[in-house]
Structure 1
Amino acid sequence: MKMAVALLALGMIGTGMNAEVTKASFGTAKNGKPVEIYTLKSPELQVKLITLGARIQAIDAPDRNGKFADVALGHPKAASYQDDGGTYFGAVVGRYGNRIAKGQFTIDGHTYHVPINNNGQSLHGGLDGFDNRIWSAKEVADGVEFTLVSPDGDQGYPGTLTAHVTYTLHGHDLKIEYSATTTKPTVINLTNHSYFNLAGEGNGTILNHKIQINADHYTPVDKVLIPTGDLPAVAGTPFDFRTPHAIGERIEAKNEQLTIAGGYDHNFVLNGAAGTLRTAAIVTDPTSGRTLTVKTTEPGVQFYTGNFIKDGEITGTGGKKYVRRGGFCLETQHYPDSPNHPAFPSTLLRPGQTYHTTTVFSFTK
């Protein structure tokens, strides 16, 4: 009992067999509001989360020799996240992660307009998305639950949306559960936008990492990165990752889709039934021996190779300059622009319904 009291006095909350949780200040956002940082720690992994954007700020994982390194790209200060050119490092993006064509969609015969912020399209919730908000937070067993209330009309979206994102750590597994309710019919597509470099953040590119994606089909895009609506097979294309390939093996291939995106920035249609937790992707760094396995209940995953990171413009958490393709993202999601593609899995949420999805990031060696 005395030890438990002492841990609470230090800001450490014992939350179960698998993880300890500590809380501290992480400075202030650009609007002057305080930002807090929570650290989840197990013997196998350490994860840092901040209330600005409900972000993953760092993930320390061991290599094959047991040496820990931060494998998630990020910033050492809160305000830097709001002034980095829109990388969305580690953030929960919403209300609608990824793109909505021309910033408009129709629900029950009414057309809604949301902010345009990317080549004439709406990206990751618009000009003031969930990544830019201070979420409330509370400790839960083995983790932290973040909550954000987005009022009716926020960024043009209908309905008051109450969103919860819960991170829990169990050994080498970081579990993320998303849930939300609304007061009016709306669209929602929450995801985490972490960039990973399994060699350690700031340690060069991820082009030698080997990736396997559990998808027979993908959603090609037009010149402004909006899905065409087609679902072609990956077979015979540089998008076939059903067996492991180095990320850089075909990234410069003569392929219209790779040219449009400057590399990989595409949604893959995951095999298996949406709503069931199944493997989406496995990534291995041959140098360090670290492996990331992503499991999700979502129907898709956006594989992005950091094509828009500019060499040397961002200094990361550890003081190193980031380079183009210095990190990859695996954003578990519904498909981009689903509100304008009736054939895609629906992102419509109505009053009385609960939005719920689960993603697990597992780091092994």
Structure 2
Amino acid sequence: MQESLWHLLAATLIGFAVGLERERAKVERQGSTIGGVRTFTLLGLLGGVGALGPAPWLSAAGLLGVAGLAVYTLKNSRDATSQVAALVVYVLGVLCGLGIVLPALFAGALLLGFLAFHDELHAFAGGIERSEVEAVVLLALLLGVVYPLLPDVNYGPYGVWNPREIWQVVLLVAGVNFVGYLALRLSGSKGLWVAAILGGLVSSTAVTLSMVTQSRANPSKNLLWAGGVVLASQMMLGRLLVWSATAPALLQLLWFPVLVWLLWGVLVTAWLARHDSGISESVPVQNPLQLQSALIFAGVYALVKLLARAGLEVFGSAGVFVVSAFSGVADVDAITLSLARLAANQQLMVSVASVAILVAALSNTVFKAALAFGAKGLGAYVALGLIPGGVLALLVLLVF
């Protein structure tokens, strides 16, 4: 009984939150003709009560009633936003009544966001260009059509090439490229920092490739692109500390050197942002979905995976540093987790694991700097922001 009461409360809160927004819209721009805070609160509660009722048809009957109300009020509306929102609130109330509370709350938050940012969404949609629509369609085809058709089987020497995994890299690079494009288009150069942080949480290498592509199209903003690469790389270092925490003794050795590296990167990013002459200007960006660059990066990724596995086979356990250097180019997360688990299980000395992890991170950093030299005038700034901090962190670890 108590659980059902909580479900009803969740359904009512969803309706109340959406109702508050619709009440505001009604006052500001006459945007709601179906009701305000009371109506939407009652619709959420009605959905929850209907789902808790003894007869399953009660929910369906309630939905028909809400739909009828929505249709009736359409004649006095300039758009159907409030009517559709009322239907969604009722359905979310039903989900809460059925015990599917967390997805319903998440959907309610999305609904509230779409309603609250009405003006911004309309302004954005009004400025969409054909190239952006084509980019979205292409990305959907890459994800929804090509990806499911690829076999999830290992091929090649040592079985290191998995077509589906490699295609995930293509999707990742293309997706980060497009997210960065949208962030820049919406917020100018400030949006770049958001895109770099979010992209760096997934793959700082993918962000680097995206910034290289943008630099080729607009080399006058190289300070901005370089700052994006350096900031994204700091997210990689944050992930490194998280993975190292699986072995507390390892984290104890790594946290200070990595903090030194992070501090260097943040300072260089701030310097690059400060010296970018047009930080408040709109940054022109071309080709939002760079499929060719993503395919090239996927090929490099596949080659590095092969080299890393070959290094492991040739050098064995004694070549942990060599393997770390090879593996770090493609994926710092994988090698860090592997070494942390070995250290936690006392299968590898913590001191050796800590050095090997920094070697892997430095290897990845050098690789990203090398990618940046693919755009004229970008590589030096990226190298300044990445490599000295990594070398300093390694020296701090070895000395202290």
> Please, what TM-score do these two structures have when normalized by structure 2?
0.21
Asked which structure has the greater CA Rg, the reply is 2
> Please, what TM-score do these two structures have when normalized by structure 1?
0.23
Higher-helix-fraction structure: 2
Higher-strand-fraction structure: 1
